[in-house]
Amino acid sequence: MELTESLIKAREERAEKYCKLVAKFPHLKSESVLSYLRASDYFTAPSSYKRHGAWIGGNFDHSVTVTELLLRFTEEEGLKWEREESPYIIGLFHDLCKNDQRGFKMKNDNLKIVSRECPDQRHGDRSVELIEENIIKLTEEEKECVLYHMGVYGGDEEYQQEMAKAMAQNPNIAFVQKADTIAARAGI
């Protein structure tokens, strides 16, 4: 299958899965949100070169796994969120900034992931900006969960201090970090 064909197939399969997942929240699957997600390669971008999610749609697959884990923790641990859709918004969009950081090309019949832009260590900040510009205004709780989802790997001393303060007020951040780590360690 040609690269373009594979990309279209992967995009449409994942767009359908996304619409089912957020079926209860029509504002997350409006025309404008879906056209942004399609155009920004949300359904086809990989997560990384070779660590986790290094395939067409890898970043979306990772995001769905994080969402499912967050929903499981919400149920099992009785987590409270400011709005029902928060675990969906955080899980599905915490790595939104990765959409345009990597692309694909074919080399000797093999799919190769190429870098378009060097990912920033503090990529949570960029995801918050993109979510608010293109999808939905975040609650403070959601914003903190996205900003600090990288945990101890997320940044410098200043970041760690801000994160510790936020985590003392917002216990859900720790569950987002846990979900992200479990998914990444499982290779997704």
Q: Which residues bind Fe ion (CB under 5 A)?
A: 95, 180
* Other CB atoms within 10 Å distance of the CB of residue 145: 30
CB of 134 to Fe ion, least distance (A): 18
Closer to Fe ion at the Cβ: 10 or 179? 179
CB of 183 to Fe ion, least distance (A): 7
* DSSP collapsed to 3 states, 19-75: HHHCCCCHHHHCHHHHHHHHHCCCCCCCCCCCCCCCCCCHHHHHHHHHHHHHHHHHH
Closer to Fe ion at the Cβ: 9 or 17? 17
Closer to Fe ion at the Cβ: 56 or 145? 145
CB of 145 to Fe ion, least distance (A): 11
Q: How far apart are CA 150 and CA 126, in angstroms?
A: 13
CB of 170 to Fe ion, least distance (A): 18
Give how far the C-alpha of residue 138 lies from the chain's centroid of Cα atoms, to the nearest Å: 14
Closer to Fe ion at the Cβ: 85 or 95? 95
CA angle 124, 128, 133 (to 5 degrees): 150
